[in-house]
Amino acid sequence: MSLNGFIVDVRTVSESNLELEVDASRIPWEEYKKLVDELGDVLSEVDEKWSARSRLVRGRSVRGRFRRVTAEDRRRILRFSPLPSSYSNILKNTRTYMYCLVADNCLVLEQVGTRKVYLLPRPMAPLLVEGVDKINKEVIEPLRDNIAKFRDSDDYLKIEQLLFRHGIDPTVLRTAPFNLGDFIVDVLPVDFGYSVNGDDVYTRMRRTETVKGLEILKAQLARKHREYALNAVSDITRRIVDLASGRRTHDLEGKLGALKEICDSLGLGDISERVLKPLKEIMGVRASEREDLTEKLFGTRNLKEAVENALKASAQVLEV
């Protein structure tokens, strides 16, 4: 198995970048409660006015909490976004789309907690980086413009005036950065087929240094390569079974084509020929004809079972 391509580091923008904190410690408790209620009403009005589907907008709450500075000093902090909630939703939806884009084009080699190590096969790299560039140009740049327009609006001024009436310095709104960087996918070329035996540096070291360390290094590299190869094949297998089970029906032809490219680039032509090629043929006919064709190609009428058996029978799944 030729395990090479790019290690991917994904960096997205959080909607928390559109929030700010206001220190309300100096105003009386009753005044603070009035501020929270009125601010919630104003923000709801902003959402209704600035949302494309205002009838679906629900009220917004303002989060308050206490922050302990010292044993005697506890600050009352308000955290909220003065911007229309649709802006935060755009970031949430874009982040979800971004990770779907990564998941469709990459393989998971390792997972530590919630963080995943992705391998981007070489044929898929142009598609992924172009997709991310499109996100930044078509979503993030217009969102920056919309934020700038809203900050110049009477509605933003209304929020400033509300804070001022309740004893809060509105400078916090005027100076809020609302940092909205680009969505980024950094790629680092790697080749897990690297061999100590073919490295001139280590060849020279064998003449002058202990061989024990080199043997340990070779064993570690071989172990990691096998671990990553097994994880990559497991990820490919899961995705093929999902397609055969009908759980991922959107752009089915595109997903099958992408998986075929991934398999071919990694030297998994056996899976490509034995599984993906007939699966694509089956998915290309009418639903009423699929069971008959599945039985003809795989010997069983159950497509999910047929694909699972074909994957198990593939020597490349068993011998990575």
Q: What is the mean pLDDT of each run of 10 residues along the chain (320 residues)?
A: 85 92 88 91 90 51 50 73 92 93 90 86 91 95 94 95 92 90 92 68 60 76 83 87 74 83 86 88 86 90 86 62
**Distance, CA of 123 to CA of 192 (rounded, Å):** 17
Q: What single-letter amino acid sits at 59?
A: G
**Distance, CA of 143 to CA of 277 (rounded, Å):** 42
> Are 124 and 94 a contacting pair, CB within 8 Å?
no
**What does the angle CA 240 – CA 242 – CA 247 come to, to the nearest 5 degrees?**
145
**pLDDT at site 319:** 56
**pLDDT at site 70:** 44
Three-class DSSP labels, 4-25: EEEEEEEECCCHHHHCEEEECC
**pLDDT at site 53:** 55
**pLDDT at site 71:** 44
**CA 103, chain centre distance (Å):** 7
Of 251, 183, 76, the closest CA to residue 243 belongs to: 251
Distances in Å between the Cα of 229 and the Cα atoms of 50, 109, 124, 222, 234 are 49, 7, 18, 10, 8
Token readout for 289 is 């004809």
**Distance, CA of 97 to CA of 234 (rounded, Å):** 23
**Distance, CA of 246 to CA of 241 (rounded, Å):** 9
**pLDDT at site 132:** 95
**pLDDT at site 269:** 84
Query: Do strands 184-191 and 20-23 pair parallel, antiparallel, or not at all (unpaired)?
Result: unpaired
Per domain, the residue ranges of the chain are 13-91+131-180, 192-318
**Distance, CA of 320 to CA of 318 (rounded, Å):** 6
**pLDDT at site 152:** 94
Full-model pTM: 0.76
> What residues does 188 pair with on adjacent strands?
7
| DSSP element (H, E) containing 44 | helix 29-50
> Are 317 and 271 a contacting pair, CB within 8 Å?
yes
